[in-house]
Chain A
């Protein structure tokens, strides 16, 4: 019988560094001192647990979850699906996945977004779901539009969906962004390029998945998410009492 040990350390060379001057906002929002490395205690190996009472079964349908009865959001209908796994290839069941995105015109339903593209009255722009026993999740939505942002004078974000994932522990908490295969704006984006490694950037590009598409209805994209893996402690369990 093995017990759960600590999480593998985060590979900080795979993640973006704190200061990335081409993404200007990071310059004044990045700590200058080094992070202090902390071996896991009970505070890090635990995290909030969610259940089906916390969310509604249709929260993962962004085409309809804010639409008037009988209406639907405007745009290219897509299915975003995949699995949440850990670094040991183990599925992470029953974990909360939340998403938010702009509408088909690239406009967010947010009081701070003033982009001239119109608000879609039938599109809220957020969804959430729990993974099933095999770590699988899916969302039905519309493909978000590209939008301009103030960084350099003429920066455009590639089409993207923001994704928030919990895992089983506070140490696994992650927010990232999902991009779409074939988008020429990906490689021009300073936020994408905060990630130094090309393979790491590629991990954020969802693949066009014709097999999972629904004929005459929706195109599918597959986006697997990997959270930190955990040691199985065979001999001595350093996390005393866990």
Chain B
């Protein structure tokens, strides 16, 4: 016999199911219950930096858009600080850096407005390129999927980003690049996420 390690086990994950909106975005489920739903304003009115919109669709292994997905975004402000005690510095009043994103039930299209994050401190040395951390849950996803959205116009920062460089297959790195467009004077980045198949998005075990 040996001594017993006394750690607890993490509670196992279960799918969020098709009705995740009831709990986390009841307005989208079709009813009004809370005074304030959480996660609708990521940056707040006082945030510095470039105002951007991010839009996309999550696609399954058959090539079809997923219409019942929920995404959560977690990002730094324009100076690279997260709104958290260990986030590296202070943030603007009202800057949350966190948001919830629900798809259109008919088309699967989703979008959110925020500010472009700055570079954040790297794990050991250097800096990480601007990115938004995404967490994806839906019916059929047993454990929420983590990925990162990078910006295709940040060529120099992306080239030295420690996480992008960790991806051995250079062809797969491009699945994490959102594509910049200008639409009626607004900056819109397109980021389609493929859960499976050709050009499958890179997902991380964080």
| Residues of chain A at the chain B interface (Cβ within 8 Å) | 4, 8-12, 14-18, 20, 23, 25-33, 35-50, 54-56, 59, 65-66, 85-89, 96, 98-100, 108-113, 124-126, 128, 162, 164, 170-171, 173-177, 191-192, 194-195, 199-201, 203-204, 225-229, 238-242
Contact = CB atoms under 8 A, between A and B. Distances in A.
The 6 closest A-B pairs by CB, nearest first: A100-B23, A25-B140, A29-B140, A48-B98, A46-B84, A28-B61
B145 interface: yes
27 contacts: A11-B9, A27-B140, A29-B140, A30-B140, A31-B201, A31-B203, A32-B61, A41-B121, A41-B162, A46-B84, A56-B34, A66-B31, A87-B8, A100-B24, A110-B19, A112-B105, A126-B22, A126-B26, A162-B20, A170-B74, A173-B144, A174-B144, A176-B13, A191-B15, A200-B9, A204-B14, A242-B86
A127 to B, nearest CB: 8
B10 A87 contact: yes
Contact of B33 (A33, A36, A65, A85): A65
Interface residues of B toward A: which range? 35 or more
B78 to A, nearest CB: 15
B66 A29 contact: yes
Interface in B114-143: 120-125, 128, 131, 133, 135, 137-143
Nearest to B139: A25
Given A31-B145, A56-B34, A204-B11, A238 B124 contact: yes
Contact of B7 (A39, A49, A126, A229): A229
Nearest to B6: A89
A86 B11 CA distance: 10
B141 A35 contact: no
Contact of A47 (B61, B84, B163): B84
